Each structure stands twice: as structure tokens, then as C-alpha cells.
Homo-oligomer: A and B are copies of this chain.
Amino acid sequence: MINLSPVHQRYFATTWHAVAWYPELWPERIAADLALMREAGINLVRVGEFAWAEFEPQEGTYALGWMTAVLDACHAAGIAVMLCTPTATPPRWLTRDHPECLRVDRDGRTFVHGSRQHASHVSACYRSHSRRISDVLARAFAGHPALVAWQLDNEIGMHVDGDFSGEARLAWQEWLAQRHGDIVTLNQRWGTGMWSTRYDAFSDIELPGKTPFDRHPGNPDGAHSASLTTDWWRFVSWTNQRFLAEQAAAIRAHSAAPITHNHVSHDRLTPAGLMEVVDAAGIDIYGPPEGLAGSLSNLEWMRGARRRNDGSTLPIAVIESAASPVPGRSAAHAAFYLGAGAHLVGYWVWQQQRSGQEMWHAHLVTAWGERGAVWPEVLAASRLMQRLDPLLRAHPALPDRVALHESAQARAYAPVPGLPTDGWAYWQQRLQHHESLTNSGIPSVGLLEEHDPSGLDVVLSPAMPILTDDLLRRMTAWVEAGGLWIIGPHAGYRTEHATVPVEGGLGRLDALLGMRTLWMHGLNGAAAKLLDEAVVLNGRGYVLEPRDPACEAIGVINDGWAAGRCWAVRRRIGRGEIVVLAYPATQSKRDAYGAIVARLAATRVPLRTSSSPGVAVFLRDGACLVVDYAGAGGWVDVPEASQDLLSGRSVAVGRSDVPAHGVLMLKYEKA
């Protein structure tokens, strides 16, 4: 792999079977553990994750020898190490002697010491201590031959909201001042004329604490201005990013090894922000086996975040997942992760927790030191990974041609201002669109909205209220060069500052498409057409009116109060085309997004495949990988006469059964 340093190359070139290990809790078991890991085919351990109190038992007093011994033992056993910064769990001396490190919740309650993530990412004190311990670890272990990568913190933002401390209030005001320059600009951007909210100074702007309007049991703190709330989430993301970036800088000063983080899908850190910090993408996947869609959606956006100039993508890591005793499940899931672009399949946790928390969690070895229920399945996963590895290298993934935007702006925007679930609401909407594509057999990759779409044929942008000027500029240039951009539904109706655009209902799209957005209003089951296909429109959307002859109405509403109105348009621009879908649509009660995209993208969508729900298909060069993720068995429509390289069996074109947790590596006979 070009452009990668040797130490990065080593990390990315290897397929890792990994596990989280806390040897500090079981020092007497280190040798036995390593022997068992070798038996299980484990070749990478994550260590140090919550061990701050071990590394620094008193402030400024370090005890690092035990970790040196661990790394030495790993190296001797041929097991590589990902070393973690322990900043999710401050030692007691830190929270006791520096209580300003503790985060405060929306109610003004300070979190007490205990569990994890109770320290504030805004706190200058906590940031300083976090930088220091990162520096100490980097200095001590950067050169160790066992070390192949670093992990920053743990699942940042997973269990917590923003910090509502006094220090956070000042940081928020400073951040706003940086972003908006002067208070007049902020007032104009936020439209603070409404409800007399105008601010005289940045110091006037409160954290979004309790306020009366729109309080209800699901939103007990009331709703602040959508502009304030949207900036608030941007600020929270920025504080989380800065917290990680400061650790990364401390490590990079001493170590050339790649840096990663075990992301969780709905956290409070923009994907692009995360990618700016890390060298290597990593994610925790804990969805249930029924949740193929969620896992695939998460993996696809993260893989897409690592696209390179040649259109290929860097491998990604499934840092944590739960091993399962169900026969074949762990192997099938490992194959699924590899198919989706992972080079690391990791488990949490090696040994069952003995104390404190999560004692019930899946584990490889019991707290009393025996191979656990999942043991044979982990071994099976290891064997399958070893068999698949060369086959997947021989048949690399096809270049991505269709991408689904992943939008930090959408995560920040609050459909109902003040709801703590905003980012989650977007995640769910995006997931639904991704699933609809998958159900229509259209493979897609994620595209961060901040990134360049070059090399792609089709880009889809549903559920993106905010289309920034910068995004429009980049996308329009790509369309002119031949791209097909399908925008919406639920896109373009807010400015970057979460206000309603006043140059047109869908902002600059109106002029770009040569149309006029007439009005926003809800529909509840209105019959409509898209081209000549019948669909039903539901939910909030926009009625459009083509004005420019080049703007073609491709969707018409057939009944209800908006009968005869247009809800979808398209326009050729340069060598490409933009489509706007202004309402969500269903067919026979089912979401129609995938079918619409298939119809509109037509020849641009690469080889499509069908499979039953729960069965994933990954198209490769001259082959395809088929995995029954869900474990209920199903079928796949095999695109070409093939041989299953795993079983040696010949498989004809057409529908073919897939057994429960079955994995097929189908090499096309023609290829």
C-alpha cells in the first residue's frame, strides 16, 4: 500500500483477530492467557484501556513496568498490541484532588466518581492530565516491538451529554465568538429577533439548560432555538474532537504507530472530526444478529471515510464485538466484517469481569479461568478468517460507485430542538435509507459530506436538512463532470444556521434546479407518481414548481389537497444530473427509497443482487461473498455460475439457499 509508513503498512496489511485484555486485573494469569490466545488464533490484544490508576497510582508517580512486562510477554508470544490511553476512567485521586474535572449534567448535578466518562472533555485540568498520561505512555512504549497501534480513550461521548459546568459555559461562549466573529452576526444568523432573544454579547448566551417552551415528558428540559441547539451539538463534537486530538498529538510526538478509536455509531463527534484525529478507522459493533442493516450501515460510512484517490478504501477495524456460543455465528460475523472492509475483528472481552460492572458480558474465558461457552466458535471464526483472507485478497472489492452521504450537519440539526436524541434520530433516518438500498440490492458506501465525491457515479443525500454552500459547490462540480446526485427526501430545507432559507424553500437548490419551492406541508398517504411508477407520499415535504424548461417534473401528486402538484424534479447539469425528491415515498406500505434510486440511477448502478433479509452479499472482482448474518438461513440470487471456494461446491445462477450462518465465497466460473 502506497503512502503508508512501514508501521502503518504493517498494521493495515495484517488481518487481525483481536481481543480486549486487562492483564492488570489478573497479573498471575498472563502466561496462561497468552497460551490460550494462541490456541484461539488471537494475534492482537488491546491493553491499558482503563488502567490509569495502575499507570499513575498517585499524581505524578508512574508505574509502567507491569505494562512493559505485558508487552514483552506478548512479543514473545507473537501477539501484537494495541495500546489504549486510559482517559475514560480517571483515578480517584484525580477526581478528588481536582473536582473541577468532573462533568455537570443539564440539571446542574455534578457526576460523582464511579463508573466511567464522568470527567469533562472541556475541563482544562482534565485535558492537561489526559495529555500528560498520553505523553507518558507514548514515551514509554513507542519503541516496543509488540506495539502496532494506539487507541485513544474509549467510546467517546457514549454515555454522556455535553458538559454543563461553568467552565463549559465560558468555552461555549468563546467557541461561538470564534465561529460567528461578532454578536451582530450571530444575532442575524440565528434570527434572534424572534421571541426577543437577541444577545448583546457572547457572554449573554447560556448553555441550553431548562426552558419552558415545548416541555413534555419526552423533552423535560424544553426547547431552545434550533440555531443555538445545532451550534451546541457542533460545540460538543468539537470539544470531544479536541480532547482526542490533544492525546493524538502527544502520542505522535513519540510514536509513528497508527492511532485509532473505538467509535460508537451515535456518539457526539462528527465523523469527519473523528477522521481528522485518527489514522485508522475503528468501530464497536454490538447490534443484535437481526440488525444486519445497522451493522452494515455503520461499517459502510466508516469505510467510505477512508476512501483514497484511486477509489479504493483503507481497511477498517471492528474493535469490539461480542463473541457468541451460537454455532457458526461468530465465524459468519467475522466473514461479514471482512466482507464489509474490515481487517480487524475484535472481541470484548477476553476474561469475564470479576467485579464492578458488566460481569454478565460475553467473554472468551470465564472469571474462574476456564475456556468459556464461546470458545469453539472463536476457534471456528479464526479458522474461517484464515481461509478467507487469501481468497478476499485474490478477489478485491469492486470499486464503489454509489455513495450515501453521511452528514455531520444533519447529526447536529435538531428536528425537535432540545431533544437529546437528535443525532440518533438522524442515524435512524440514514439507516432506514441505507437499508432500503440494500433491500433493493444496491451496494453503497458512505461519503462524508466534507469529502470529495470524485470517482463515484451516484451520490444520494437523504435526510440532510442542511446542505452547506461548500457541499453544493463540490457536488455541483462533480455533477457537471457526469455525476448523478439524488437529493432528499428531507434535504435542503435549513440553512447552515438551522434557519429557513429565504432565497427559496430549499435554499440554493431552487435556483440550481430552476424551480420554485412552493410550500412545506405534511401529506398522509397521498397517491403520487414518480415517472410512471405509483408511490404514496407520507410525512412532511415540499411542493415544487419547475420554472426553467430544463427542470423536469418527474413526480406528480395525484390526490388530496395538493393534487396536480409536483414533488420531484430533475435537471441535467453539464454531463450529469440532479434529482430532488421532496417527500418520503412508500410502495405497498414499504419504504420506496431503494426502488426509486434503482429506477433513477438505472444504468449507473453496478451489478445488483438480491438476497433475503439477514443475508449479506459483498460483490468482489470475479466473485462474491455471501453471509447469513442473522442466522435464520435464507437465499441469495447468485449472479453468475460459480464455485464456492469454501465448500468446493458448484452453484448455478439464480436463487440458492444459504444455511443458517452460512458463508459462501462464490468465484464466478467465467471470471
Chain A residues near B (Cβ < 8 Å): 22, 24-25, 50-54, 57, 86, 89-93, 96, 103, 105, 107-109, 111-118, 159-160, 190-200, 204, 206-215, 222-228, 325-327, 352-357, 359-360, 366-370, 372-373, 417, 497-505, 516-521, 540, 543, 561-562
Contacts and interface: CB of A to CB of B under 8 A. Distances in A.
Nearest to A50: B195
A429 to B, nearest CB: 16
Given A196-B86, A204-B96, A354-B500, A117 B213 contact: yes
Contacts of A191: 25, 354-356
B368 A210 contact: no
B114 A211 contact: yes
Nearest to A523: B325
B353 A112 contact: no
Given A191-B355, A370-B516, A518-B370, A114 B208 contact: yes
A354 B118 contact: no
Contact of A368 (B96, B204, B373, B505): B505
Nearest to A501: B368
A198 B114 CA distance: 10
Nearest to A154: B195
Nearest to A359: B500
Contacts of A199: 92
A189 B229 CA distance: 45
B519 A159 contact: no
Given A325-B521, A502-B368, A561-B325, A194 B112 contact: no
A516 B360 CA distance: 19
B196 A54 contact: yes
Given A370-B518, A502-B354, A516-B370, A159 B214 contact: yes
A108 B210 CA distance: 11
Given A25-B193, A193-B24, A196-B53, A112 B356 contact: no
7 contacts: A50-B195, A113-B211, A325-B521, A354-B502, A359-B500, A366-B517, A373-B520
A51 B52 CA distance: 54
Copies of this chain, how many?
Answer: 3
Contacts of A417: 357
Nearest to A86: B196
Q: Which of A93, A194, A372, A520 has the most CB of B within 10 A?
A: A194
Contact of A105 (B117, B197, B210, B561): B210
A196 B498 CA distance: 41
Contacts of A517: 366, 368
B93 A200 contact: yes
A206 B113 contact: yes
Contact of A213 (B159, B519, B521): B159
A206 B113 CA distance: 7
Most chain-B CB neighbours within 10 Å: which of A51, A355, A417, A498? A355
Given A160-B212, A214-B159, A353-B500, A25 B194 contact: yes
A561 B326 contact: yes
A200 to B, nearest CB: 6
Contacts of A540: 360
B116 A519 contact: no
B519 A196 contact: no
B112 A206 contact: yes
Contacts of A207: 112
Contacts of A194: 22, 25, 50, 353-357
Given A215-B159, A368-B500, A54 B193 contact: yes
A116 B103 CA distance: 28
